[in-house]
């Protein structure tokens, strides 16, 4: 098998043969049937048992994939990572089988899905390309696979997601049984799919003009370096730095890297990697730097700049030792919650992990703080940066958009492009956009669009009105992109219409006007896009932001980004009063009325907290612990106890407690809420409880003395520098025992309303725990204690 070969039958034989010695197996199929899964299971199980990396991506398009097939994969392939692609009605037709072994690599692309007929004697065409033929195409294919595998459109296959798919599958197939015909138009969509917005073509060789000319840190970088120095002194080995776009995150990482020997810099876009490489070499001209992506594979340089889509593949991870790097930098850290990043971060064991981002993640309910143990070394949002004169002021104009977005289909994380285009590609809409822009614009504008079609449509309309405009996307040739940016900077262009091209990694500092003509589907992306206009430049006094606002999702929350404080809901009056000098926010009356109306109709805060719980449960495949909910949900969890009394109380309202758990909750609700709500000016109460729990489920409730707790107390509060600094104690057994008796034991027994007693030197629960529910109460108590200790030290360690 050393040449290109057409396979028209019995594909199963090739799949079995190639699976035998494969170390990595990546499959993507539009659908899977139980009959096909049965044929491939033995080979895949054997591969998994010998340690091969297995990744399978199966589509839900038209709900052809059988739930029984997914169940079989889930139950039998314990060593595989399986994900479902949620097509939301958009055609999903790929069929590709990739194999990598120690000696070779193989790629099969064609028409065969995972069904018995497709694998045996059905009429199928598949093209087999061994490594000698496929060459770099194999690397490109695996890279594209990883992008799709961990994209926002996929979910992991677990018991929760399987149950949800089964329910949708039953409903759809029941409806089809009632009406089993398609119109010609529907058939055409099934065959050819809908037209997507843009191709993500990336040119790694594009040149950049950003970055400081002097090799000295800027003021924001100095503050960040000081904060990172302190976080290392406090014994942290990972930290997140949140710096607004324009404050030089990449150069900060380069300056911070001076104290480390080998550095791995990870990002998700090639252009970010090449720009970072240039920045690091600017700071460290005598060091070596190399790329690790689909095209280049440098493993020996001092600084390695790696594409996450390449590095997250097991074969490429294996090219490095887990201890190869002293520092790992993850750029655009808001992406780090993706499984591809988690896989890489878990593999390596650096001395320090640094995450850098401009985007506060909680605004999109996808939190990554857990990856850096909740340690935010420094946070400088763009509002603070403007206050310090590090970024340009803004004048924000909200222009009312009459489009009724409730009539446009929502596809989980975006609006349906075809339906949206019917509203956007109208001359009446283009005229309104042009008039709003003419009234408020300055000299150089970037217009952010929803699709390539909209960008082209508006560019043509503006050109017809006598303005110099151009539409750019990721598919635009490199020279055109560079020339367009130069022409905008030189005043030869009035406006560039773009589709997500300038969200990350590339800036044009002289841009002084931003035009938003798309619904805000992601508050994080909106924050990044605003940063494109806030860079300082000669002759630039401020940035004008013109934003069309309609009744789309996030319309009632997006303005919260103009507050330096994290907010679940924006308060227009508070935001107006808090924005920096020389900044302004002007909203048309219809927008103010719209936001108020949306707030009335919005789900209650309680409902949103429960919704986020179920979203996270689906993602994890199991009930999240209290700490997992805090770190991964995006909810500000201090509000759990005020809304529900406790995390367990929220589970009760969500109808997530079993019958036995309900009995336990009814019996011990007061105790659960006592652990949740008892005051913590110090960590001592929870450290004391942590010791009690450390004795195990059968003994945790037994009395303790201050003398027996003291060694645990000393160890817990002195092993980490940040704990020593926050709750300093003298590491003396006698003095610590005295402190424990005077502080947590006495104070908690006095404030617990009889739930705890401290008599004759013994500290104990003042109630009996039924043996029938003891394990449940033990686990709940441990979860709350774990969460409260983490939250306490996270809060106390926060830095300005």
Residue-wise pLDDT tens digits, 560-609? 788 755 554 556 666 777 788 889 999 999 998 888 887 666 556 788 78
Report CA-CA distances (Å) from 129 to 98, 107, 669, 767: 10, 5, 63, 71
Contacts of 141 (CB under 8 A, 6+ apart): 96, 98, 107, 109, 134
Considering the domain architecture, whether residues 663 and 632 belong to the same structural domain is answered as no
Same domain, yes or no, for 634 and 682? Answer: no
Largest distance between two CA atoms of the chain: 89
Q: What is the structure's pLDDT at 180?
A: 41
Tell me: do 306 and 432 sit in the same domain.
Answer: no
Q: Is the distance from CB of 532 to CB of 562 less than 8 angstroms?
A: no
At 800, list the tokens: 């300005």
Residue 677 — pLDDT band, cuts 50, 70, 90?
very high
More confident residue, 114 or 338: 114
201, pLDDT greater than 60: no
Question: 376: part of which helix (H) or strand (E)?
Answer: strand 376-380
Work out the burial of residue 346: count CB atoms within 10 Å of its CB; fewer than 13 is exposed, 13-18 middle, 19 or more buried.
Answer: exposed
Position 359 pLDDT exceeds 90: no
Q: Average the pLDDT over each of 253-267, 306-320, 472-486, 776-790 and give the range with the smallest value.
A: 472-486
Cα–Cα distances in Å, from 735 out to 282, 703, 738, 743?
Answer: 54, 21, 5, 12
Which SS3 state, helix, strand or coil, does residue 198 take?
A: coil
Which of 780, 759, 777 lies closest to 768 in space, CA to CA? Answer: 777
Evaluate whether residue 535 is within a structural domain. yes
Q: In a 3-state reduction of DSSP, which class is residue 456?
A: helix
Q: How far apart are CA 705 and CA 701, in angstroms?
A: 13
**Token pair of 263, please?**
């550095």
Q: How far apart, in whole angstroms, are the C-alpha atoms of residue 686 and residue 785?
A: 6
Range 320-325 average pLDDT: 96
Helices (H) and strands (E) counted in the chain, each on its own, are: 33, 25
For tokens 């339906």, the residue is 419
Question: b/e map of 156-182 (b: 16 or more CB within 10 Å)?
Answer: bbbebbbeebeeebeeeeeeeeeeeee
The per-residue pLDDT for 634 is 67
- 116 token code pair: 């018995």
Indicate whether 355 and 434 sit together in one domain.
Answer: no
CA atoms of 391 and 387, how far apart (whole Å): 8
Lowest mean pLDDT among 59-63, 463-467, 708-712: 59-63
Name the percent of the chain lying above pLDDT 70: 88
**CA proximity to 38, closest of 7, 77, 92, 10:** 77
pLDDT confidence band for 364 (50 / 70 / 90): very low
Contacts made by residues 484-487, CB under 8 angstroms, sequence distance 24+: none
Q: How far apart are CA 336 and CA 252, in angstroms?
A: 19
Alpha-carbon span 406 to 426, nearest angstrom = 18
CA distance 180 to 189: 16
Facing residues of 235 across strands? Answer: none
Same domain, 349 and 429: no
Q: Write out the two tokens for 555.
A: 């319309």
Residue 362 in domain: yes
Gyration radius (Cα) of the chain, Å: 29
Query: For the chain, what is the mean pLDDT?
Result: 86
Give the contacts of 272 (CB within 8 A, at least 6 positions apart).
331, 332, 504, 505
Asked if residue 779 is part of any domain, the answer here is: yes
**709 and 761 inside one domain:** yes
Torsion angle (degrees, nearest 10) of CA 77, 83, 87, 91: -60
Q: What is the pLDDT of residues 496-516, one digit of tens each?
A: 999 866 654 456 899 999 999
Of 749 and 418, which is predicted with more confidence?
749
Give me the residues paired with residue 307 across strands. Answer: 267
* Strongest mean pLDDT among 222-226, 562-566, 707-711: 707-711
One domain for residues 263 and 227: yes
- Confidence label for 636 from pLDDT (cuts 50, 70 and 90): confident
User: Could you give the count of Cα atoms lying within 13 Å of 776 in the half-sphere of its Cβ?
Assistant: 21
Residue 771: how many other CB atoms lie within 10 Å? 8
| 283 in Cβ contact with 518 (< 8 Å) | no
Q: For the chain, what is the domain count?
A: 5
| Residue-level pLDDT at 619 | 81
CB 545 within 8 A of CB 560: no
The verdict on 111 and 244 lying in the same domain is: no
In a domain, 200, yes or no: no
Contact criterion met (CB below 8 Å) for 378 and 522: no
Residue 2 pLDDT level (bands cut at 50, 70, 90): low
Determine contact, residues 387/380, Cβ cutoff 8 Å. Answer: no
CATH assignment at residue 50:
3.30.870.10
How wide is the angle at C-alpha 525 spanned by C-alphas 478 and 310, nearest 5°? 60
End-of-domain residue from the set 565, 588, 611: 588
SS3 content of the chain, % helix, strand, coil (to 5): 45, 15, 35
What whole-number distance in Å separates Cα of residue 509 and Cα of residue 22?
A: 49
Instruction: Tell me if 755 is assigned to some domain.
Output: yes
Instruction: Name the most confidently modeled range: 91-95, 367-371, 395-399.
Output: 395-399
Q: Is residue 323 part of a domain?
A: yes
Same domain? For 666 and 561 the reply is: no
**Do 769 and 699 meet the contact criterion of CB atoms below 8 Å apart?**
no
Q: How far out from the chain centre does Cα 422 lie?
A: 31
Same domain (yes/no): 620, 557 = no
Q: Is the pLDDT of residue 177 over 60?
A: no
Q: Is the pLDDT at 360 greater than 50, yes or no? A: yes
Q: Can you give the CATH number for the domain in which 435 is found?
A: 3.40.50.300
Max mean pLDDT among 89-103, 125-139, 350-364, 732-746 falls in 732-746
Percent of the chain with pLDDT strictly greater than 90: 60
Range of the domain at 118: 5-192
Instruction: Record the tokens describing residue 531, joined without a space.
Output: 């940063």
Q: Is residue 61 part of a domain?
A: yes
Do residue 76 and residue 149 come from a single domain?
A: yes
Q: What are the tokens at 216? A: 């000295």
Neighbour order of strands in the sheet with 513-516 = 469-472, 495-498, 445-448, 513-516, 543-549, 394-400, 584-587
The C-alpha torsion from 65 through 68 and 71 to 73, rounded to 10°, is -70
Indicate the angle between helix axes 684-694 and 706-718, nearest 10 degrees.
Answer: 110
Kind plus residue range of the DSSP H or E element containing 469: strand 469-472
Q: What is the pLDDT of residue 573?
A: 67
Task: Tell me what pLDDT residue 183 has.
Answer: 33
Task: Give 133's pLDDT tier (boundaries 50, 70, 90).
Answer: low
Q: Which of 126-130, 631-635, 658-662, 717-721 has the lowest mean pLDDT?
A: 631-635
3-state secondary structure 301-365: CCEEEEEHHHHCCHHHHCCCCCCCCCEEEECCHHHCCCHHHHHHHHHCCCCEEEEEECCCHHHHC
Co-location of 314 and 455 in the same domain: no
pLDDT at 186: 29
CA distance 210 to 503: 15
Taking a C-beta distance cutoff of 8 angstroms, is the pair 280, 329 a contact? no
Other CB atoms within a 10 A radius of the CB of residue 726 amount to 17
Q: Is the predicted pLDDT of residue 268 greater than 80, yes or no? A: yes
Reply yes or no on whether the pLDDT at 135 is more than 70: no
Listed residues 588, 619, 636: the one ending a domain: 588
| Weakest-pLDDT range from 124-128, 246-250, 439-443, 701-705 | 246-250
Q: Which helix (H) or strand (E) holds 496?
A: strand 495-498
């Amino acid at each position: 098998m050393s040449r290109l070969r057409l396979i028209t039958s019995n594909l199963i034989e090739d799949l079995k043969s190639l699976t035998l010695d494969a170390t990595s197996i990546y499959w993507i199929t539009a659908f899977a049937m139980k009959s096909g899964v049965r044929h491939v299971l033995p080979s895949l199980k054997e591969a998994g048992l010998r340690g091969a990396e297995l990744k399978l991506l199966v589509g839900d398009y038209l709900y052809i994939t059988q739930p029984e097939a997914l169940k079989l994969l889930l139950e039998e392939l314990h060593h595989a990572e399986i994900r479902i692609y949620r097509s939301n009605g958009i055609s999903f037709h790929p069929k590709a089988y990739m194999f990598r072994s120690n000696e070779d690599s193989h790629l099969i692309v064609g028409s065969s899905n995972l069904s018995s007929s497709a694998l045996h004697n059905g009429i199928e065409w598949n093209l087999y390309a061994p490594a000698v033929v496929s060459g770099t195409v194999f690397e490109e294919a695996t890279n594209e696979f990883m992008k799709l595998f961990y994209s926002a459109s996929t979910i992991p296959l677990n018991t929760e997601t399987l149950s949800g798919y089964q329910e949708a599958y039953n409903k759809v197939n029941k409806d089809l049984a009632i009406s089993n015909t398609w119109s010609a138009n529907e058939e055409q969509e099934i065959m050819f799919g809908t037209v997507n917005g843009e191709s993500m073509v990336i040119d790694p060789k594009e040149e950049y003009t950003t970055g400081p000319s002097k090799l000295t840190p800027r003021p924001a970088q100095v503050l960040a370096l000081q904060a990172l120095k302190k976080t290392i002194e406090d014994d942290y080995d990972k930290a997140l730095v949140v710096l607004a776009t324009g404050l030089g995150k990449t150069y900060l990482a380069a300056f911070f890297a001076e104290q480390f020997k080998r550095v791995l810099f990870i990002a998700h876009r090639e252009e970010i990697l090449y720009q970072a490489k240039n920045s690091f070499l600017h700071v460290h001209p005598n060091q070596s730097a190399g790329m690790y992506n689909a095209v280049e594979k440098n493993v020996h340089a001092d600084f390695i700049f790696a594409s996450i889509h390449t590095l997250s593949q097991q074969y490429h991870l294996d090219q490095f030792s887990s201890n190869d790097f002293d520092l790992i930098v993850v750029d655009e850290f808001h992406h780090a919650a993706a499984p591809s990043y988690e896989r890489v971060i878990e593999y390596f064991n650096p001395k320090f992990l640094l995450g850098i981002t401009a985007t506060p993640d909680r605004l999109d309910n996808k939190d990554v703080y857990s990856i850096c143990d909740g340690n935010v070394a420094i946070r400088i949002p763009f509002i603070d940066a403007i206050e310090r004169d590090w970024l340009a002021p803004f004048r924000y104009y909200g222009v009312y958009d009459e489009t009724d977005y409730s009539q446009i289909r929502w596809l989980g994380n975006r609006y349906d492009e075809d339906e949206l285009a019917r509203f956007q590609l109208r001359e009446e809409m283009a005229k309104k956009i042009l008039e709003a822009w003419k009234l408020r614009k300055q000299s150089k504008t970037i217009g952010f669009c929803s699709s390539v079609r909209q960008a082209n449509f508006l560019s043509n309309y503006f050109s017809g009105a006598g303005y110099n405009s151009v539409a750019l996307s990721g598919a635009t040739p490199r020279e055109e992109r560079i020339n367009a940016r130069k022409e905008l900077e030189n005043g030869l262009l009035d406006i560039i219409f773009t589709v997500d091209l300038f969200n990350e990694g590339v800036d044009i500092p002289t841009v002084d006007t931003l035009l938003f003509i798309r619904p805000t589907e992601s508050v994080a992306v909106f924050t990044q896009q605003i940063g494109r206009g806030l860079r300082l430049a000669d002759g630039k006094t401020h940035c004008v932001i013109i934003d069309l606002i309609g009744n789309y999702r996030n319309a009632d929350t997006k303005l919260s980004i103009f507050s330096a404080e994290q907010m679940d809901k924006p308060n227009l009056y508070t935001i107006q009063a808090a924005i920096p000098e020389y900044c302004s926010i002007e909203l048309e009356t219809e927008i103010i009325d719209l936001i108020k109306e949306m707030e009335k109709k919005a789900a209650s805060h309680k409902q949103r907290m429960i919704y986020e719980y179920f979203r996270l449960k689906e993602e994890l495949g199991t009930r999240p612990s209290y700490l997992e909910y805090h770190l991964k949900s995006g909810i500000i969890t201090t509000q759990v106890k005020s809304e529900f009394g406790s995390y367990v109380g929220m589970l009760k309202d969500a109808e997530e407690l079993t019958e036995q758990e309900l009995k336990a909750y009814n019996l011990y609700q007061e105790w659960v809420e006592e652990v949740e709500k008892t005051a913590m000016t110090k960590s001592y109460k929870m450290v004391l409880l942590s010791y009690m729990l450390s004795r195990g489920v059968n003994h945790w409730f037994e009395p303790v003395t201050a003398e027996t707790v003291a060694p645990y107390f000393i160890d817990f509060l002195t092993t980490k520098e940040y704990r020593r600094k926050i709750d300093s104690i003298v590491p003396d057994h006698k003095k610590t025992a005295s402190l424990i008796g005077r502080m947590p034991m006495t104070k908690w027994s006095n404030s617990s309303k009889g739930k705890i007693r401290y008599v004759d030197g013994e500290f104990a629960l003042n109630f009996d725990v039924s043996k029938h529910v003891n394990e449940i109460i033990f686990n709940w108590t441990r979860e709350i204690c774990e969460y409260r200790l983490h939250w306490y030290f996270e809060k106390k360690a926060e830095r300005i």
